[in-house]
Amino acid sequence: MTQPDYEMERVLRAQGYLRIAGVDEVGRGPLAGPVTAAAVILNPDDIPEGLNDSKKLTAKKREALETAIYAQAEVSIAHATVEEIDRINILKASHLAMERAVAELNPPPDYLLIDGNLIPQGLRTRSEAVVKGDGRSVSIAAASIVAKICRDRVMVDLAQQHPGYGWETNAGYPSKKHREALLNLGVTPHHRRSFKPVHNILYQE
């Protein structure tokens, strides 16, 4: 299994870009909750060991790495709300969360490595879209880890306010338990009304 590395960042640093942020988002697929993005600038002399795509790490490993990332790097996290997701669509909302995360880095980065194949339109920083970037760049991998843990914690909090949907384990994704609870318990204010399974319950004939 190939591990992400610092090679892209090293090439950029040789070109004079010194504040390189990896940017990633989590939460495009769930039926409930915000979409969350993170931007991380790693210190090239103090990169946490074992960074990888958050989906390839155990929860225990993710949490250990999160602690190291916050201790050794610059981190910014931002969200786009359910209301924004429903108003502008999930892709634009995920880009909005990315733009907000980047905007909170101070001083600002001078180059962005963004997971995916699209660059959010609102970004004014030199940027590069990196397909499957969380498996290629340690900066993006670090962003994927802190974004996932942050969003998972948001969903655990929401699960205590709205028990029965299983958000503490499914993070709002359309698991069997979540779909059954939607039918039996109904739609909460945290559900994305523009997503078909939710929309169909609200507007069934």
Q: Is 25 annotated as a binding residue?
A: yes
Alpha helices in 29-107 (DSSP H): 59-72, 82-88, 90-103
The DSSP secondary-structure symbol of 4 reads P
**% the chain with pLDDT above 70:** 99
178-200: per-residue pLDDT in tens?
A: 999 999 999 999 999 999 999 99
Residue 205 has pLDDT above 50, yes or no: no
Residue 115 has pLDDT above 50, yes or no: yes
| No. of helices (H) and no. of strands (E), the chain | 8, 5
Helix (H, G, I), strand (E, B) or coil at 191: strand
Q: Is 83 annotated as a binding residue?
A: no
Torsion angle of alpha carbons 183, 189, 192, 194, nearest 10°?
A: 90
Q: Is the peptide bond before 107 cis (omega within 30 degrees of 0)?
A: yes
Query: Which residues are 73's β-sheet partners?
Result: 42
pLDDT of residue 181: 97
What's the 3-state SS for 146-157?
A: HHHHHHHHHHHH
Residue 136 has pLDDT above 80, yes or no: yes
pTM: 0.96
Residue 9 has pLDDT above 90, yes or no: yes
Q: Is 24 annotated as a binding residue?
A: yes
Strand order from edge to edge, sheet including 111-115: 73-80, 35-42, 20-26, 111-115, 127-130
**7-152 in CATH: which number?**
3.30.420.10
